[in-house]
Amino acid sequence: MKAKLILENGRVFEGEAFGYLQETVGEVVFNTGMTGYQEVLTDPSYYGQIVTMTYPLIGNYGLNVEDTESSSPKVRGFIVREACKDPNNFRCEMGLNDYLKNNKIVAIEKIDTRALTKVLRDSGTMKGIITLEENLSEDYIKEKLDAFSNKDAVSIVSTDKVYEIPGKGTHVAIMDFGIKTNILRSFKRRGCRMTVFPQDATYEEVMRVKPDLVFLSNGPGDPEDLTEIVKNVKKFIEAKQPIVGICLGHQLLAIALGGKTSRLKFGHRGCNHPVKDLEENRVYITTHNHGYYVSEMPADTKITHISMNDGTVEGMRHEVLPIYCVQFHPEACPGPKDVDYIFDKFLEVK
């Protein structure tokens, strides 16, 4: 069935729909990973977004129940150059089309994803509509795009109840802003006991379990929108509680400490981003998924990691307080595992 992607700047890309055949609206972004499409689909940080995969063939190794990063896909839509119809892998349990259809996610293929990526790089990330309709009025398109908002994304993807993951090591209190499953696995492999809290859990509720370490997770949206969470994080900081974080957690710490965040033109998304660890004096290949970054460092902090692509801040450590965090994803497995050591550094924060 024919389908169109209509961007808010007026550009239209035509292709064929697959997955669940329905109209969708979201923020159109691109991911440069050659593998890991299942992890991308189920990463809560992509909530509200229509994701374009720049690698031309997607779905060739199928999907399975083990490699998901959350309970279900979180994207609003999916865009590929070619969707593989006959996946071939010994771990394959389902094809891409059936997976998307079962989870009510619309996708579009046979469009020029290279041209689309260039538009997003030149003009910046923007809203878009995937539609099956031939003719939509300009008023209808504007109304749909204007109505789209991702401000409540964190509250939607966070857990709604406290739960525990047993372990005999460091007790980590995890603030779930849209946490990826492999972050929990990474702490579990190190023997950690974890208590996972909803995004709106208070300082008092968290400290009641007497954690050794507080972890602020990844998640979707603009950190500047999360004013109540920032107030909560400030209480941990004032109490000199050891705190670590990844991605959104890193940005929230920066804001709570007095720094600032800004929006990237088209974001960093993929599993092939070089980052330099200034403390180790080494460059690692890392996985990224963020549209915002720390643009102004807080006082009494030092940069620990920088992006080798554009020089943006990829990690920081407080020089007085027990605080350490990174922008990239050390747990990510669609590609490199170079930076898995970051979890060991997290557990050293005291």
Structure tokens at 289: 């998924």
How large is the average pLDDT for residues 223-230? Answer: 97
Paired strand residues for 172: 194, 213
pLDDT in tens, 235-272: 999 999 999 999 999 999 999 999 999 999 999 999 99
Q: Which CATH class is domain 154-347?
A: alpha beta
How large is the average pLDDT for residues 87-112? Answer: 97
Paired strand residues for 260: 296
pLDDT in tens, 9-37: 999 999 999 999 999 999 999 999 999 99
Give the residue among 270, 274, 255, 280 at the shortest CA–CA distance from 344: 280
Is 337 strand, coil or helix?
coil
Which helix (H) or strand (E) element contains residue 288? strand 282-296
Instruction: Give phi and psi for 288, each to the nearest 5.
Output: -125, 150
How large is the average pLDDT for residues 207-233? Answer: 98
What's the pLDDT at 59?
98
What's the pLDDT at 332?
82
How large is the average pLDDT for residues 215-244? Answer: 98
Mean pLDDT of the chain: 96
The DSSP code sequence of 96-110 is HHHHHHHTT-EEEES
Taking 3-state DSSP, the helix, strand and coil percentages for the chain, each rounded to the nearest 5, stand at 25, 35, 40
pLDDT in tens, 53-68: 999 999 999 999 999 9
How large is the average pLDDT for residues 293-300? Answer: 98
Angle at 181 between CA 177 and CA 186, to 5 degrees: 110
Q: Position 72: which residue type?
A: S
What's the pLDDT at 98?
97
Report the catalytic residues: 247, 329, 331
Q: Burial code of 21-33, b = ≥16 C-beta within 10 A, e = fewer? A: eeebbbbbbbbbb
What's the pLDDT at 335?
62
What's the pLDDT at 256?
98
- Contact at 8 Å (CB) between 70 and 157? yes
pLDDT band at 48 (very low <50, low <70, confident <90, very high): very high
Answer whether residue 337 shows pLDDT above 90. Answer: no
Q: How many CB atoms lie within 10 A of CB 61?
A: 18
What's the pLDDT at 334?
64
How large is the average pLDDT for residues 169-187? Answer: 97
How large is the average pLDDT for residues 89-108? Answer: 97
pLDDT in tens, 184-203: 999 999 999 999 999 999 99
pLDDT band at 338 (very low <50, low <70, confident <90, very high): confident
Which helix (H) or strand (E) element contains residue 250? helix 248-256
Say what the pTM is: 0.96
Of all residues in the chain, what percent carry a pLDDT higher than 70? 99
Is 226 strand, coil or helix?
coil
pLDDT band at 86 (very low <50, low <70, confident <90, very high): very high
Answer whether residue 336 shows pLDDT above 80. Answer: no
Structure tokens at 288: 């990224």
Answer whether residue 333 shows pLDDT above 90. Answer: no
Q: Give yes or no on whether 2-149 and 154-347 have one common fold.
A: no
Domain ranges in the chain are 2-149, 154-347
Give the residue among 196, 147, 206 at the shortest CA–CA distance from 176: 196
Torsion sign across C-alpha atoms 99, 105, 111, 115: negative
pLDDT in tens, 100-150: 999 999 999 999 999 999 999 999 999 999 999 988 999 999 999 999 999
Give the residue among 173, 189, 306 at the shortest CA–CA distance from 235: 173
pLDDT band at 322 (very low <50, low <70, confident <90, very high): very high
Q: Which CATH class is domain 2-149?
A: alpha beta
Q: Which single residue is written with the structure tokens 């159109």?
A: 28
What's the pLDDT at 288?
94
pLDDT band at 161 (very low <50, low <70, confident <90, very high): very high
What's the pLDDT at 46?
97
Burial class (CB in 10 A: 0-12, 13-18, 19+), 157: buried
